[in-house]
Structure 1
Amino acid sequence: MAVDKKNIFLTNTAEAMPYVSKPQMGGASYPKRDVKSHAAFIQAKLQNSYKAAITQKQAAAIRYKEGVYLEFSSASQHDLAIQRLENRQQGIRLLNVQEDSESDTIKATVYIPAGKESYFINKVEAYATEQTHTGNPKNNDLIGSIEDVKLAMLDSFGIGDKKTMPTSTPVWCEVWLRYDYSDKELKVWEKAEISFLEICKQNQVRVDDNRIIFPERIVKLVLANEEQLKIFISTCPYIAEIRRAQEATTFFAELSNTEQQEWIDELLRRTHFQNDNVAICLLDTGLTSSHPLLNKAIQDDGVQAVKSVWGTGDHQGHGTEMAGIALYRDLRQALEDTGNIFIPQKLESVKILPPKGANPYELYGAITEQAVSLAEISNPNTKRILCMAVTSPEYNTRDGSPTSWSASIDSITSAADEESEKRLFFISSGNVYPDELTKVGYPDSSTLHSIESPGQAWNAITVGAYSQSIVISDSSYKDYSAVADAGELSPYSSTSETWSSKWPIKPEILLDGGNMATNGFDFTECTDLSLLTTNYRPLLKQFSTIWGTSSATAQAAWMGAQLLAEYPNAWPETIRALIIHSASWTDKMKKQFCIEDTKTKGRRRLLKACGYGVPDLQKAIQCMNNSVNLIVQGELQPFEKNSMNEMHFHKLPWPKEQLRSLGEVPVTLKVTLSYFIEPGPGEVGWKDKYRYPSCGLRFDVINANETPEDFKKRVNVKMRGEDKKDKGEGSSGSERWYLGSDNRDVGSIHSDFCELSAVDLCDCNFIAVYPVIGWWRERAYLGKYDSKVRYSMIVSLSTPKIDVDLYTPIVTEIKNAVEIDIEAI
C-alpha cells in the first residue's frame, strides 16, 4: 500500500545506566508456630516418609530408583518457601509446584537423592535448637512454612484436571523429565531420556519418538495406564510432572458457494503479485496450491508436510480457506471492487494434521517445531510470518499457565538456544461452538470458554474475533437473526476471563470472525454471517466460507505481512508491537464488558475478553500530521549474576512548541513495549510468575511535574545516592493511565495510554525501560544471566484536531539533532 508519512524509527535515544530495583512491599505469608512442637512434628513426618519408601522398596518386585520423592504442603491460605526446598549442590531438586484450590494450600514435589535424607532433618534440628542474630529460629521461613510432608504419589506429579488422568485404560500422557545442566556432556538431557526409555522398554510402554527440550526439562509422550505411571515414579529418578496429552482440533466446515469462474478471471486481471521477500506460512491441513486465486503467490518449494506420507494437498479444506484470507484479507470486497490489488506476500504451507483417521497423539509442540524448521530450510532467506489456527480445548490448563505446546511456541519465537532470527507467530484463540450458547447464552458462553492451547504462548499474538456482519438474506434463515450486534465480541471467540491475573492478556487483538444465527432456541453457523474465501476443491467450487477465530487469525497474518513488506528491517517484536499499538475497542465492546468503568473491574474484564481491541493497519503502518508513531528498537542486559544490571532512559524528540500552543486541547500519549521471553517451563515456581519468563521489562513515563533527575531517582534506586532523604518517592503517575500497571504489566507486551492536555504533555518525553526478575537471574547456574534481551517500544502522540501538525517538528528535530534518515528502514 502507498504510505505517505512513514513511521519514525529512532536511534541513539537511550542512556544506559546501572539499575537497582525498588524493594517490593509485602512478602510471603507464613503461620506462627510453636517451634519445639512444630519441629518434632515435621521431623516425625520426614522420618515416617523415609521409612515408607524403604518398606515399598523391600516389598516390590521391581528395581526401585535411588532416592525419594517427597510432597511438602503449606498451611491453608499461607505460602510455602518453595525456593528453599531446592539445593542443587546436594542434588535435591524441586520438581513441581501446585496450588490446591479445594484446601487453599500450596504443594511442592521434591526429589531427595540417596544419601541426602538427612538434609531436611538437619534443617529441622537447627530450627528447633538454633537462632539467627535477630533472634528468630534458624531456617524459620523454610520449616515454618511447611504444614505437612509425605511420600509423593501419582497425584503429586499429575498436572491439570486429575479426572483426565488414566486409570486402567492406557492414554497418551506427557511425562516431563528433569535433567541437570551441571552435566558437561554436549546433550545434557540424554542421560535422563536414555534412563526413561529403558524403563519404558522394560515395562512395555509405548513411547513416541518426538521430544521437546526446555531448560532443565525434556518432554516425552507415552501411552500408559495408571499402574505404569506409578512404576515410572517408583523406578525413574527424573520424573518431574505428568500431564494428559492434548489432541489438536481444527475449526472449519465446508459450506456451499456458487460463485462463477469469470469472477476469478476478472479479479486476477486486477491483481498484481509483487513477490516481495515476505511469506505467510500456514501450519494447517495442507494447501490446494492449484487454486487459481492462490497459485501465483505460492513460494517455491513452499508447500510441505511434517510427514511425507500425509501428502501436501489440503484434505479437509481449512488450510486453503485460511490461505484465501491470508492473501486477500477480504475476498468478497476484492471481487466487488474494480481497482487494482497489490499483494506483496507469498504463501507457504506445512501440513501438521493427518489426512485420515483421528488426530495422532503426539507432542504438538515438537510437530510445530518440525514444521517451522521445514519451511526455513526450504527458503532460509524469506522473511516469514507463522500462522496457525489449530488449537486444542482438551486437557488444557484453565488458569492461563503454559502447556508444553505453548511453551514450544515461546521457544520458537524467541529462538532460544539458537543462532537463528526471532519469529513472528499468530495463533487463534480457539472457537466457541453453537451448542455451547444453548447452555449458557451469549456472551457468557465466551467468557466461560477458556483460550485454547497453545494460545497461552507469551510471545505469539493470540487472535480472537469480533462480529461485523448482522444481515441475513438467505430465505432458509427467515426466522433467524444474528446473535451479536455489529462491533461486539463474536459468539465464536474464546476469552481469558477465567485465567489467573498473573498470566498474559489474551487474546491480544480481535479481527472479523463472523457471527452466529439464532431463532431464539437454536444456534448455528450461517453463510451470510461468514467470510468468503477459497475452496480446496476448485474444480467443484471456487469459493467457500470461513468464520470464527480462524478467519480472524488469517487476517492478522495478512496485516503482519503488509507491515513487514513496508518495513523489511523491522524486528518481529516491532511488527507485533505496531499491530497491538494500533488496536482499540469499539463502543459496543465497552458496553458489553466495561459497564463498571474502573481499572480493577470493567477495564480488566474488557482486556480479558477483547484484548486491546481491533487493530488498524492505517494507524500501524504510517503517521499522519496529527498522529505520530515513534519507534525504538533497543537491547539491554537485564542481569548480572544474582543482581540487576542496567536500564535504559530514553529522551525522545518532542513537538514541545506545538503542544504548548495547543494549551488545553486533549492529546493522547500511548506507549507499547514488546519483547520476547525465553520459556522456563515446568510447574516449578509457576506460583511465582517470575520463574516462567527469562526476564521481564517494564516502562515508566516522566510526570508533567517531574524533573528528569527526579524521574531517574523514582525509577532507579541506584540513582538515589547516599542521601537517605533522597528516596525518589514521587508519584508514579499510574492514575493517569487508562489500564494502569496492575493490568498491563503481565506477559511480554505492555500497552497503555493516557489522555492529557497538550500543555501537560510538553515535557513528557522521557521514558524509562527497566527489567524485572526472571529465570535468567534466578537460575544463574544455567549460564544465561548475562544474556541480552531485545525490545521494541512504540510511542505515539495523537490529537483529534485535524489541523495540527505534530509530525513535521519531530522530523525536523531529528534531522537537526542526529541527521537520521527516517526513510531508511
Structure 2
Amino acid sequence: MAGESYPHLKLDIIPLKLPYSATGGDDKRQDVPAVKNRRAHSRSLARDLDQIIAAKGRLHDKELPEEEAGVHLTAFARTAAGIQASGALMDVLSIKGEGKDQRVNLFIRSDRIDEAKKRLDRYADFEANADEKVRKPWSFPFFEAAERLAPTKLTDLWTDRIELFPKKSSSQAEWEVWVRADAANRVRGFAGRYGVFCELGQADFPSVSMIRVRASADDLQSFVDASSAVLELRACSSLTLLALNMKASAQRALADGLVSKISAPRAVAPAVCILDTGVMASHPLLAPALDAGDCLTLNDAWDKHGWDPHGTRVAGLVLYRDLERLIEKPRQTRLDVRLESVVVLRPPTGLRSSLESIGEVVAAVGLIEAGRARPRVFCLAFSDYRGLNDGVPTKLSGSVDQLAWGHNGVQRLFCVAAGNLSDDPLLVSGYSARNDASGIGSPGQALNALTVGGCTFIEEHPLGGQLLCPAGDISVTSRTSTSWTLRRRSIKPDLVFEAGNVGQVDGEDACESLAELNPLTTNASPRMLLGTLGETSAATGSVSGMAGRLMARYPDYWPETIRGLLIHSSDWTPAMVERGFGDNEEKKREHILSMFGWGAPDESMASDSASNRLTLVAQSSLVPFKEDGRSNALNECAYHPLPWPETALRGLGDTEVELRVTLSYFVQPDMRAPSARRHADYPSHRLHFDLKGPDDDDLDAARRQNRAFRGIRSASPPRRSEARWRLGSTLRERGTVHHDVWTGPASELARQNALRIAPRGGWWRDAPVYAGVPVRYALIVSLRTPESAQDIYQETRTRVAAIGSRLSIPLLEPYVIQPVPIST
C-alpha cells in the first residue's frame, strides 16, 4: 500500500485544534477466497519450503553475519486478491505484479524456519475448526493467499527491460544491484566469497543503495540466496557516454524523436526563470517550453539566446528531471513547467569578468515580471566569490532576501548555487578538506534563498578508471559553510544534488575532468544538441526544476511552502553521515549540516504522500510583535493540534515511527545590521516550533517557556528530553527553515499531538511601525509508519474534511486572544 501516491493534505483550520481518533485501517484490498482444504494446502507449502531449503544446501554459513543467513524465496499469489505478506516471520524484499500475477520476494532467516513450519501446522489445524470467528493463527493471511513457494530467481528481482538480462548464466556481466541501505557495507564484506565483485562507490539513498557489481548469473544467484539485502537488479549502462559520442546528425535524430513524444506545458504552468548567460530558444528540446518572447537581456548588446552555453545547459536540467532516462525509454511526456531567461551575466570584454553585472538581479526580476504575471522560480546557477565568503550578507545576497520577502507584496522563491572551488589544477589530495575551507559565495548566504550544494551519485567511470568522489558524498568542487565565522546563524547549503564526479589519473595526484561524469543536458549548438553540465550549476538547475514542478502540482502553495517541501524531503546518505567531525554528536551533525545542509531531496516524497506516509501542510500567519512603549514586545504564538491517527499509533506500541517537522518562512533583511555587528538583527523576526511532550496536556504545551502563562498553574510543565530528535533545537533553529526528524515509539508519538509556533526577536522589535503586522509561515508535518494494512492517509483526509474551520480546545479557550490569521 505504501506505493500508492496521494496529494499532501492541506489544512486550512484556524487554529488547528483537531482531536484525532483513528478507527482502524481503510483496507481496500479484496478479501482472499477461503482455501477449501487447508490441511492439503499447508502440506503443499511445507513441501515447497523443504525443497527450497534442500536446494540451497546450507542454512548456517557461519561466516555470514547472523542477520544475513537464511533462505530467499518467492511466493506466488493464489487469487486476484494478491498476497498479504508476513513481515514478522519473513522479510519482504520486493513485490512484483498485481492480483493473480503478483509475486512477493521474501527472505526468512535460518533461525525462523522452525517457527515457519510450526505456523504451517497451526494453519492446517485451523481446517478442523468449524467456528470461523475463532482467532486465526499467526501468518494465516499469508498462507491463505500464497499459491506456492519457490526459490527466488534473478528474473524475479529483475526490474529492467527483460532483453537486457544477461543471456549466458556462466559468463561475467555487469549488474546494478539495489540493496537495503543499512546492508550495503555488509554486502561488500562477504560478496566476494560468492564470486560477486563490487566496484568502488555506490549510490546511496535513504532506503536503498545501488552497487555496481561484476558476476556471472550463477554466482549472483548464489549471492542472492545467501543475503536478505538484495531488493532488485538492473542493467548497468553508460548512456551519457553513448549520447555524447553520437555524430551531430544522430543527436538531431535523437532529439527529434523525443520531441514527437513531448507535450508543451499548459498555458498556466509555472515558469523557472534562468538568470544566466541566455538560453537557446530554438533548441528542439527546449522550444516546447520556451517562447522567444520570454528570452530577455539586460543589455541589447548581449545575445539573449546565449552568448555562452552555460544558460542552455542549465535549462535542460531545469526542464527534464532525468534526460538520460527519457532518452533510454522514450515515453509520452507533458512538461510541467515553462522556461524564461534573462541575461544578467555580461560577456567578457578584455579583462572584465562575466560576473560584473550580477548585481543586476533586481533589474532582471523587474524586467521579467513586467512582461507576464505567472508563478515562477528564479534560478541563479552562479556565484560571486569576491569578498571573504564568510557568510556575512552582501549586496547581492541582501537583494535576493528582499526580493524573496516581497517588498512589493510578491513573495519569490530563489534557488541559488553554493558555488564551486576554482583550484586549477584540481588535485586528488586535499579532498574534502578543500570543500571545508572554501566558503559559499554570494548570494548563497541569503537566508530566504534555497541554497544548493553539490553531491554525486555517479559511480561509473567511462574508461573503467578510479573515481575521486564516493557515491553519495560531496562533489569535488562544491563549497560549504564549514569555514564561515557566522555559520551558527544559518544552515547553508540548504540541500545538495547531483553535481558530477571526476576521475583520478593513475599514479598522479591529479584529477581528470570528463564530460561523461556529469549529468546529461541540452547544449547550445545547432550541431551538437546534447552536452553535460557539472558542479553546483547543475545541482541548482535540477533543484529549480523540482521547485517548478511542485508549484505545478500545488498551485496554491506559497514559495515558502515549496522551499519547505524540498527540504522536508531531504536526507543524508551514509557517506554524508561519515563526514561528521567533532568531539560530540552535536558537533558532528553541525559539520554535516555545514557541508550538505539537510541532504539530498527526494522529489517523489516532496510531491506526494503515501498510505503509510502522511504529510500535512498548513499555511498560516501570526503577529510576532505588539506595541510596548517606545519599542515592541512579543505578541502571540500559534497552537496547531496535529490530527494524529492516535489509535493506530498506540496499536503499534513500541514500533519505531518517524515524524518530520519543517517550518519555513521569509524575513525582511536589514542590511545595516552586519556592518553594525548586529548579526542577530539581520532578519526582521524569527520563529521556532515546539512539539507537545508525551506527558503534556494542551495547557502545559502552551505555557512551556512562555511567561504570558506565568501563574496559571503552580507546577511547572513536565520536563522533556530532545534525545529523540536528530538535531535538537540548538541546531535546527538557525536561518529561516527549521527542519528536524523525530524517531521513537509510536505510542509515545500518539500523545505528542500538537505543535506551537512562537516568535523571537529581530530588527522589527525596535521598529514600532511593525507592531501588529502579521508574518507568514508554512508548517509541514509528516508521519511515517511501517507498511501495514492501515491507510493513515485516507482516514486523516476524511477526518479533516469533517472538522470544519475551527475546533475548540477547552483548556486553552479562556486564553485565546483571537484566531490565528491566514494571509491571502
On whether the aligned pair clears a TM of 0.5, the verdict is yes
Asked if the contact 1:401–1:503 (Cα under 8 Å) also holds between the matched residues in 2, the reply is no
Asked if the contact 2:663–2:779 (Cα under 8 Å) also holds between the matched residues in 1, the reply is yes
Alignment partner of 1:493 is 2:478: yes
Asked if the contact 1:282–1:319 (Cα under 8 Å) also holds between the matched residues in 2, the reply is yes
Q: Measure the CA separation in 1 of the matches of 2:381 and 2:792.
A: 40
Return closer, same or farther for 1:343/1:443 CA change in 2, 3 Å cut-off.
same
Q: Which residue pairs with 2:419 in the alignment?
A: 430
Match of 1:296 among 288, 291, 300: 288
1:794 corresponds to which letter in structure 2?
Answer: I
Q: Which residue pairs with 1:778 in the alignment?
A: 766
Return closer, same or farther for 1:325/1:362 CA change in 2, 3 Å cut-off.
closer
Q: Measure the CA separation in 2 of the matches of 1:722 and 1:766.
A: 20
Alignment partner of 1:574 is 2:561: yes
Matches within 5 A, 1:237-636: 258=247, 260-275=251-266, 276-299=268-291, 301-357=293-349, 358-359=351-352, 366-380=359-373, 382-398=374-390, 400-416=391-407, 418-419=408-409, 421-433=410-422, 435=424, 437-438=426-427, 441-474=430-463, 480-499=465-484, 500-519=486-505, 520-538=508-526, 540-591=527-578, 593-594=579-580, 598-636=584-622
Return closer, same or farther for 1:767/1:683 CA change in 2, 3 Å cut-off.
closer
Q: Which residue pairs with 2:650 in the alignment?
A: 660
Q: Measure the CA separation in 2 of the matches of 1:733 and 1:769.
A: 19
Q: Measure the CA separation in 2 of the matches of 1:291 and 1:439.
A: 37
Match of 1:777, SS state, is helix
Q: Which residue pairs with 2:66 in the alignment?
A: none
Return closer, same or farther for 1:370/1:802 CA change in 2, 3 Å cut-off.
farther
Q: Measure the CA separation in 2 of the matches of 1:506 and 1:682.
A: 22
Asked if the contact 1:564–1:570 (Cα under 8 Å) also holds between the matched residues in 2, the reply is yes
Asked if the contact 2:622–2:775 (Cα under 8 Å) also holds between the matched residues in 1, the reply is yes
Match of 2:704, SS state, is helix
How far off its partner does 1:272 sit?
A: 1.6
Return closer, same or farther for 1:362/1:755 CA change in 2, 3 Å cut-off.
closer
How far off its partner does 1:707 sit?
A: 1.2
Return closer, same or farther for 1:818/1:361 CA change in 2, 3 Å cut-off.
same
Asked if the contact 2:271–2:338 (Cα under 8 Å) also holds between the matched residues in 1, the reply is yes
Asked if the contact 2:663–2:688 (Cα under 8 Å) also holds between the matched residues in 1, the reply is yes
How far off its partner does 1:362 sit?
A: 8.5
2:480 corresponds to which letter in structure 1?
Answer: T
Asked if the contact 1:434–1:516 (Cα under 8 Å) also holds between the matched residues in 2, the reply is no
Match of 1:702 among 692, 698, 704: 692
Alignment partner of 1:788 is 2:784: no
1:517-549 CA distance string (max 9 Å, x none): 1214111321221111111112x2111110010
Q: Measure the CA separation in 2 of the matches of 1:688 and 1:304.
A: 39
Match of 1:464, SS state, is strand
Asked if the contact 1:365–1:409 (Cα under 8 Å) also holds between the matched residues in 2, the reply is no
Asked if the contact 1:410–1:460 (Cα under 8 Å) also holds between the matched residues in 2, the reply is yes
Deviates further, 709-718 or 797-806: 797-806
Q: Measure the CA separation in 2 of the matches of 1:606 and 1:660.
A: 34
Return closer, same or farther for 1:656/1:583 CA change in 2, 3 Å cut-off.
same
Match of 2:293, SS state, is strand
How far off its partner does 1:315 sit?
A: 0.9
Q: Which residue pairs with 1:678 in the alignment?
A: 668
1:586 corresponds to which letter in structure 2?
Answer: T
Asked if the contact 2:481–2:487 (Cα under 8 Å) also holds between the matched residues in 1, the reply is no
Q: Measure the CA separation in 1 of the matches of 2:395 and 2:265.
A: 38
Return closer, same or farther for 1:791/1:599 CA change in 2, 3 Å cut-off.
farther
Q: Measure the CA separation in 2 of the matches of 1:266 and 1:622.
A: 30
Match of 1:339, SS state, is coil
Match of 1:615, SS state, is coil
Q: Measure the CA separation in 2 of the matches of 1:736 and 1:601.
A: 17
1:372-403 CA distance string (max 9 Å, x none): 111101112x11110011211121332x1211
Q: Which residue pairs with 2:7 in the alignment?
A: 6
Match of 1:755, SS state, is strand
Q: Measure the CA separation in 1 of the matches of 2:421 and 2:678.
A: 31
Q: Measure the CA separation in 1 of the matches of 2:676 and 2:780.
A: 30
How far off its partner does 1:720 sit?
A: 2.4
Return closer, same or farther for 1:337/1:361 CA change in 2, 3 Å cut-off.
closer
Please tell me the root mean square deviation across aligned C-alpha atoms, in Å.
2.4
Q: Measure the CA separation in 2 of the matches of 1:524 and 1:779.
A: 55
Return closer, same or farther for 1:501/1:537 CA change in 2, 3 Å cut-off.
closer
How far off its partner does 1:682 sit?
A: 2.7
Return closer, same or farther for 1:611/1:605 CA change in 2, 3 Å cut-off.
same
Asked if the contact 1:291–1:536 (Cα under 8 Å) also holds between the matched residues in 2, the reply is yes
Q: Measure the CA separation in 2 of the matches of 1:362 and 1:553.
A: 18
Match of 1:733 among 700, 721, 729: 721
Q: Measure the CA separation in 2 of the matches of 1:777 and 1:365.
A: 32
Deviates further, 386-395 or 456-465: 386-395
Asked if the contact 1:685–1:691 (Cα under 8 Å) also holds between the matched residues in 2, the reply is no
Asked if the contact 1:396–1:453 (Cα under 8 Å) also holds between the matched residues in 2, the reply is no
Q: Measure the CA separation in 1 of the matches of 2:364 and 2:246.
A: 32
How far off its partner does 1:364 sit?
A: 5.1
Q: Measure the CA separation in 2 of the matches of 1:640 and 1:436.
A: 57
Structure 2 unaligned blocks of 5 or more: 18-243, 807-823
2:799 corresponds to which letter in structure 1?
Answer: E
Asked if the contact 2:318–2:544 (Cα under 8 Å) also holds between the matched residues in 1, the reply is yes
Q: Measure the CA separation in 2 of the matches of 1:324 and 1:684.
A: 38
1:76-133 CA distance string (max 9 Å, x none): xxxxxxxxxxxxxxxxxxxxxxxxxxxxxxxxxxxxxxxxxxxxxxxxxxxxxxxxxx
Q: TM-score normalised to the size of structure 1?
A: 0.66
Return closer, same or farther for 1:800/1:548 CA change in 2, 3 Å cut-off.
farther
1:707 corresponds to which letter in structure 2?
Answer: D
Match of 1:814 among 797, 800, 807: 800
How far off its partner does 1:468 sit?
A: 1.3
Asked if the contact 2:567–2:598 (Cα under 8 Å) also holds between the matched residues in 1, the reply is yes
How far off its partner does 1:353 sit?
A: 1.3
Q: Measure the CA separation in 1 of the matches of 2:674 and 2:518.
A: 43
How far off its partner does 1:261 sit?
A: 1.3
Q: Which residue pairs with 2:188 in the alignment?
A: none
Q: Which residue pairs with 1:214 in the alignment?
A: none
Q: Measure the CA separation in 1 of the matches of 2:612 and 2:427.
A: 47
Q: Measure the CA separation in 1 of the matches of 2:548 and 2:651.
A: 39
How far off its partner does 1:469 sit?
A: 1.2
Return closer, same or farther for 1:315/1:465 CA change in 2, 3 Å cut-off.
same
How far off its partner does 1:319 sit?
A: 0.4
How far off its partner does 1:685 sit?
A: 6.8
Match of 1:368, SS state, is helix
2:728 corresponds to which letter in structure 1?
Answer: G
Alignment partner of 1:720 is 2:710: yes
Q: Measure the CA separation in 1 of the matches of 2:678 and 2:690.
A: 23
How far off its partner does 1:300 sit?
A: 5.9
1:158-196 CA distance string (max 9 Å, x none): xxxxxxxxxxxxxxxxxxxxxxxxxxxxxxxxxxxxxxx
1:760 corresponds to which letter in structure 2?
Answer: E
How far off its partner does 1:803 sit?
A: 3.9
